[in-house]
Every structure is written in structure tokens, then in C-alpha cells.
Chain A
Amino acid sequence: MVNDTSRRPAWRRRLAVVTFVSALALHAAFIVQGGSDPHKRFGFRPFNDSDEWQVEIVRVTADGESLPITDGTWAYEWNELVGAKKLLSPWRSHHASGGAAGTIDLLDKALDWVVENIPDDPDTVRLDATVTVVHNRDDPRVTMLRGAQRRAQR
């Protein structure tokens, strides 16, 4: 090692220190936060669980009727609308590759997004979902998701 002050301006050395320390602090923070983040972003916890999940999604119409999105009466296709790989054909049982918590959180956001992007279906005011998760071969656990109310209908 040599003292580089003659070769590198002091401000560049300080910048290097700040960048180095900040980057590692950020990395450490992400790893710690990964324990509570449903998506484990930058938390580096791959393959930690074997979660299977499956969902029944219904569209709630203005008159309060709940209709499954797979009953053939909907003007839209879930897979066509959503398209995200983690949420394709969710009525079938799937492995939640990043863990069930992240998948449920993403599904919750998708329910809100879909209801705002179905202009040819003026009747639907909300999407609800019943999620069944099997965590590491435990007994199935059911979670109910209630989507946001369609803005135009509020």
C-alpha cells in the first residue's frame, strides 16, 4: 500500500471513503430489512421456503354480486391483463418462488391495478381474492384480499 495523496486529490479519496462505507452500509441495511420485507429485496434469501399458493378471484359488480373471473362471463382475461409471470393462472396451484408473502402482496396490488384498467367492463367495481397458501407442507392457510374500489365508482 502507498500513500496516494500526491496522486489522488483529497476530495477523491474522501469520496472513495464515503462511497465504500455507504455502499456496504446500504448492503447491510438491505440484508437486515430482507427479513421483514415480503419481497426480500436485496435481502439475498433465495429458496428459503417451499410455498404453494392458489387463489380464487371474484369481480364484485355494482349491485353487489360476486362473479368468479374464470366463469366465462368476464370481458377480459386475467393472464392477458396482468401478464406478470408470478401471477399467471393463479387459480391453479403454483410454487411461490420468492415466498408466499411477496406473491400475496403483488396480487393485492394487481387487484387494484386491474379494476382501473377494464374500460369495457363498467359493471365491476372491485376485485376480491381468496388466497390459499401451503407453507412447507403445513396445513393450508387462507387469506382474504379486498381490492380497492374503482375510482370512477367512488
Chain B
Amino acid sequence: MSAVAAAAVRGRPAGPRLLDLVIDDRADLRLIGLMRMLFGAIVIRHFWPTITADRLPAERFITPWWDWLPVPGVGGYELVLWTGVVAGALMSGGLASRLATVAAFGSVRYLLVIDLGGFAHNRAYLTWMLFGLALLPTGRSFALDAVVARRRRRSPSTIGFTWPLVMLRVVASTVYLTSATTKLLNPDWVGGLVLWDRTVRTQYLIPSAFDGWIHDVLVSRWFHRVLSPAALATEFVIGIGLWFPRTRRFAIATAFAFHLSIEITASVQTFSYSGISALIIWLIPIGIDRDQPAGRSSAVGRASTGTPSP
């Protein structure tokens, strides 16, 4: 990585130097407003099955992650739920963006940890993304907050510190890498047994338009011997390729296709939407992407004119 190389040249330990680079770097975070907007909609989509269900989780068996955690009654649950929904709507519109994102994060996180049975990886991913967004100045673009500020002749800069973005990048890439690595260590997965078994057991879900040889291929053992390693390779390509500017576009395109294919073939709640929306964090050039030594990149000139946040 270029930052490590720059640090090595300066003769200082690469770790602390890289941390300085990450913590002090600023960039134009305009696109983060778009990500906030999308994740606001995802928060509403996340809560939608609960809103439209006959009963709330608080009205049936519910067990928290830890015994000491208070579980609200029906009224309390509804309050937190609707706070999250309203916060999601405000996030999408970009009104009181920071407050709305914090409220959405709190709501999603709390309702997740009071219901062990409701845990799913896509919800953990959503929680991380909301946490990161809550640390970023997301209300300065694609936001009613920005419109209001302009009307008051106080147009805020879209320059901000990028360390929360780096945090989100680490989380996002390690999700792909953890998923791939743990599968790689599982012979049943690498050999295609897991995917094949799932496909065979749920073959009634394959559309009748695929009856015939396509159906036969999809449920065949050999097809999954090939598909499984390919799926693992895809996750590795995404998780690693996103970090390098030269491979980033390819990794983003691969990730987009990967999430789209999962959305079509499996039920993963909001993961496809979150995974695709989170690709925005890789579209913003930040300090660790730049080859120039610290303090000489073009983005610094822009950054120095802005009002950083947080």
C-alpha cells in the first residue's frame, strides 16, 4: 500500500504512521450523502416485515443476547420501532441527518440485541454501516439539510475527515474475506456439498421456465463442484480487489453482480441492498488511495478550505 511505502521511506514505523494518515486525512465526502439516502430506505425496508406482521416480537417469545438487557413491553417496542422508521425516512430525505442516522443506528442495534432469534448477518452488516454513517458528515449533500443551509446562506463544505470511511472499508472487505475464508476451511463447502444440498432440497423453487436440461444442470452434483470454488474466488476477489485502485473498478463491478445474483437466488433480507449501497465507500478517493507522499495530494488543497467534521 502506498501509505506504508511512504512511511517506510521516512524511516518511521509503518503502523503508527498509517494511523496518522488515516486519522488526519480529509476528502470530499459528497457521495456519502447518497449513501445516507440509500441506507435510510434500507432501514425502512429492514423494519418493514416487523411493521406489517400480525404480532410484534415483543408479543411472543423473545430472548435478549444478554440476560441483563431489558426487553421492552409492546408499547416500548413500538416506540423504538417507529423511531427507527421515522429516522430512516429522515435519513433518506436528509433532514436532521446526523441525529436521524444516530437514531436509526440505535433503533436497529437495540432491536437486534434484544431478540436473539432475529439475528442475521445482514442485520449486523446494516448496524456497522449505520454506525459508520453516524460518524460522517452526511447532511451536506443529497440532503434537505444542505438546501436549508444554502437558503440561510451557510453552505457547508462537503470536506470531512475520512477515518470513519476507512473503518467502513475494513468492515466491508473483511465481511467478504471472513465469509470466504471460513468456507474455504470447510471441505463440504469447497467441494460443493453445501450448495448442492441446499439446491436439491429447494429445487421446487427453481422456476418452471428452467425445466429440462437447465434444471438438471442446476441440481447436478458436478455443477456445484465448480460453482462453489468459483463463489469463494469471487468473494476473495471482491474483498482484496477493492483495496487497490487498479483493481477497484473490477471488484466493484464483481460485487454488484455478486449481490444481484444472491438477491435473485436467495432470501437475504436487506443484504443485497446494503452490499450494493455500501460500494459507494470505495468510490470516494481518500488518503490511503493516493500514491503521493502525505501532504502533497490534490485533495489536500480542497480539504484545507473546508470545515471538517466530525
Contacts of B178 in A (CB 8 A): 31, 34, 43-45
Tell me if A20 and B174 are in contact (CB < 8 A): no
Number of A-B contacts (CB under 8 A): 143
Rounded to whole angstroms, the CA-CA distance of A44 and B268 in the bound complex is 13
Q: Tell yes or no: B171 within 8 A of A by CB.
A: yes
Nearest-CB residue, chain B, relative to A93: B201
Tell me if B116 and A16 are in contact (CB < 8 A): no
Tell me if A20 and B124 are in contact (CB < 8 A): no
Tell me if B193 and A50 are in contact (CB < 8 A): yes
Nearest-CB residue, chain B, relative to A113: B61
Q: Tell yes or no: A39 within 8 A of B by CB.
A: yes
Contacts of B271 in A (CB 8 A): 46
Q: Tell yes or no: B217 within 8 A of A by CB.
A: no
- In A1-44, the 8 Å CB interface with B consists of 1-4, 7-8, 12-13, 16-17, 19-21, 23-24, 27, 31, 34-35, 39-44
Tell me if A2 and B119 are in contact (CB < 8 A): no
Q: What is the predominant secondary structure among interface residues of chain A facing chain B? A: loop
Tell me if A50 and B295 are in contact (CB < 8 A): no
Q: Tell yes or no: B182 within 8 A of A by CB.
A: yes
Q: Tell yes or no: B128 within 8 A of A by CB.
A: yes
Chain A interface, number of residues (Cβ within 8 angstroms): 50
Tell me if A27 and B26 are in contact (CB < 8 A): no
Rounded to whole angstroms, the CA-CA distance of A95 and B135 in the bound complex is 38
Tell me if A44 and B117 are in contact (CB < 8 A): no
* Cross-interface CB contact of B287 among A1, A42, A46, A95, cutoff 8 Å: A1
- In B99-149, the 8 Å CB interface with A consists of 116-121, 124-125, 128, 131, 135
Identify which of A58-66, A78-86, A120-128, A141-149 touches chain B: A78-86
Whether A16 touches B182, Cβ cut-off 8 Å, given contacts A41-B119, A49-B188, is no
Q: Tell yes or no: B279 within 8 A of A by CB.
A: no
* Cross-interface CB contact of A136 among B62, B118, B183, B193, cutoff 8 Å: B193
Tell me if A95 and B188 are in contact (CB < 8 A): no
Q: Tell yes or no: B300 within 8 A of A by CB.
A: yes
Q: Tell yes or no: B28 within 8 A of A by CB.
A: no
The 5 closest A-B CB pairs, nearest first, are A83-B60, A84-B117, A50-B197, A1-B294, A82-B61
Pairs across A and B, CB under 8 Å, 10 listed: A1-B21, A1-B26, A1-B294, A4-B308, A24-B167, A50-B201, A52-B201, A81-B60, A83-B59, A97-B120
